[in-house]
Structure formats: C-alpha cells, structure tokens
Amino acid sequence: MNRGQFGPSGQTPIWPEPVRGFYTDPGQFVTLSGLDLLRSLLEGGLGPPIRYLFGLELSSVEPGGVTFTMPVTDWLLFPQGVVSGATLGILVDAPLGCAVQTALPPATPFTTAEISLRFLRTVAPRSGVLTAKSRLIHAGQTTGVSLVEVTDEAGRLVAVTSTRCAILPRVEVPWEVVEQALKNPPRPREPDWPSPHPYERPVAGEVLPQEIWDDTDGLGVLQSLIAGDLAAPPIAHFCGIAPVDAQTGTTTWKMPASEWLCAPVQGRLYGGAIAMLAGTAIDGAVQTTLPAGTAFGPVDLKVYFLRPVSPDGRDLVARGTVIHRGRSIAIGTSDVFDADGKKVAVATGSAVILPGRPATVTTELTLPDLTRSQDDGEAWPRTSS
C-alpha cells in the first residue's frame, strides 16, 4: 500500500465507508419557505453527510442570516501542520448559501455560482471551534448575494467571504402533492451509529517535521509525498485529497467524489468540497516554486462553479498553475475536472511568500510593502526536480 496515500498497512480510508446523513425532504422543500425549512433542520438536529464527516453544525437561523460551526481537528492538517485556507470552503459554503435560502419562498431552488474567500489569519489546531456567521446582502428574482465572517474560538477574525447564488424558477407542484406533504411531514431520528463520526476518531497521518522543510524545497517535498517516501498528512486519510503530479509551477491533485462530501441536496457534491480541492491545487503549485526554508500563506481564493458533480466515488482532478511568481506574491489558477474530463470549476488565488519563516505559519499574515519590493521583476527561485 502506498504510504504517501494511505499510511500504515491496514489503515482503512474513511471515504469508502457507508455514508451517514440526511437529505432535504422533497415534501418539506415544496411546502416550507427557505427560512422555515432551515428552522426545521435546526430543531431536528440532523444534517447531510458533510456534517457527519467534518462536524459542520447549523447553530442558529434567523431572517437574512444563519450561523454554522466546525471544530478544528487534526484531521484537517496538511503536511505543514496547519488547516489550509481552501479548507475553510467546507465551513463557509453552507452559511453563505443558507443566508440566501432564508429569503426564498417554498419550492424555489438555488445554486452557488461563485465563492470568494479572503484569509486574515492562519488556522492552527489551537483555533478550537470555528464560527461562520452569514448575512444576506441581496435576494432578487435571479440572484442572491451574502457575506460570511469566520472567527476562531478566541473571537479573532480568520476570514471574510462572499458568494453569488443563482436563484432558479420556482418548481410547479400539483396541489395534491403539497397537500399530502403537509399531512405527512417527515420525522427522522438520529440512529445509533456503530462508531464515532469520522471527525471524532483518532487521527491517522503525519505532519512533516520542520527539518524536512528546512532541508528540502517545496517541489521536492511534494514529489516525495507522491512517491510515498514521506508519510501522507491527516487530510489525505480523511477525504482522499492527494497530489499525483508536481513540476515547477504546476501540480495535479485528486479527490474521490464521495457521498460523504454531499450537502442537503441528494446526488450533488458540496460546493465547499470542490472549492477545497481547487484551492489546494493552487497552493500546491505555489509550493513548487519555494526554496527550502521558505513558507507561504494563502491570501485569497475565488472559485467559480460551472456544473454539478455527482457523488459517484470516482476521482475529481484539479490542476493548479502559477501564473505569476514575484519576490513577495504568487498568483495561481486551477481547473477542476470530473472523472469524465468535464470541467466543473475554475479558481484563482494568491499567496504571500515568507522567506525564513517556519512551514507552520500560526500568526496573522501581513502583506509585504509591494511599493518597495519590485515584485513584478523577480524570477522564480530555482528548485530541484
């Protein structure tokens, strides 16, 4: 078994396990407003598969805003020992969309068109439980816009995010269907699960020691992970996200489109999971340009969603490319494809380059003074192949 992907022999990945979770009941969707539907979900205490995988919890609902929380567990760690900014897509996609949903009448679907994230502080394990509070900005006939602020357990602002949702035409449903749904509302109950939820289990995988980052350039680290010469990090064991190719300025990553990564809409992968993969490919591409002893910190990420993804268990593939690498700032793009080769998302992102900083950056990042850096004229550092 490839140590770089699955860890010690006999370690069973989480994503092929039987999935846990509940989807939106069609009867409730056509009879309840978006606000009442969310209130019923809060009262019932149940959630979709993504909730049971990551611990993503709906904690409050009000007109024009909802709040979600998510614990920062060691399962979320990348080789640097931090939670990547792209992983915050898992937390923020739900409250961003649900803020728009609170303004919608019954039987009105919507879909996320794009998500923008601005990172203010690196998330480390000591961040505790993250809180994402959303606010509706606009809900028209065809477009919804909302904002989310993410704070850590100490109340420090971690990220600010926004979304644009496409509001789709109301679904026409015969009255007899609505009447039947009103008479027989669902009453699901939390079953006795045979084991702890994935995020509650003992963590597999390893964070790389600082000595490796001091002695090996970013490209060398990624290529060693791909070859299995270095142990895979916890996030790879958790949801299967892993690099499969790395060259200077480019990386390719894969992640199984597992049903564990689904939100309340059955048969559709959660947009936040796609955003995580897209951002990881950009981060990986930036990493390939770094000499030994150099850290980086993501600054922002914007993801456009092009088509829905079915949770068929096959691999999504993301290809990241650095399009600018200066002395202080790197900018990258990524394309995400489904297993049939169809493009499902595109993303852009930037990162600040931090020479001499430990790989694990656990303090708030301050952008360099670009007016003095002559950033545009800087060539990439040389990296080994």
360-385: string of b/e by CB count within 10 Å (b at 16+)?
bbeeebeebeeeeeebeeeebbebee
For residues 316-343, give the mean pLDDT. Answer: 97
pLDDT in tens, 78-125: 999 989 999 999 999 999 999 999 999 999 999 999 999 999 988 877
Pairing of strands 157-167, 110-119: antiparallel
pLDDT in tens, 218-248: 999 999 999 999 999 999 999 999 999 999 9
Residue 136 near residue 110 (C-beta atoms within 8 A): no
pLDDT of 376 above 80 = no
Which has more confidence, 186 or 144?
A: 144
In the numeric block, which tokens belong to residue 78? 């990348």
pLDDT of 373 above 60 = no
Q: How far apart are CA 231 and CA 212, in angstroms?
A: 12
Q: What is the pLDDT of residue 1?
A: 32
Residue 328 near residue 352 (C-beta atoms within 8 A): yes
Name the band, by pLDDT with cuts 50, 70 and 90, for residue 3.
very low
Instruction: Give which of 280, 274, 287 is closest to 336, Cα–Cα.
Output: 274
pLDDT in tens, 292-312: 999 999 999 999 999 999 999
Mean per-residue pLDDT of the chain: 89
Q: Is 336 exposed, middle or buried (0-12, 13-18, 19+ CB in 10 A)?
A: buried
Say how many residues make up the chain: 385
pLDDT of 205 above 80 = yes
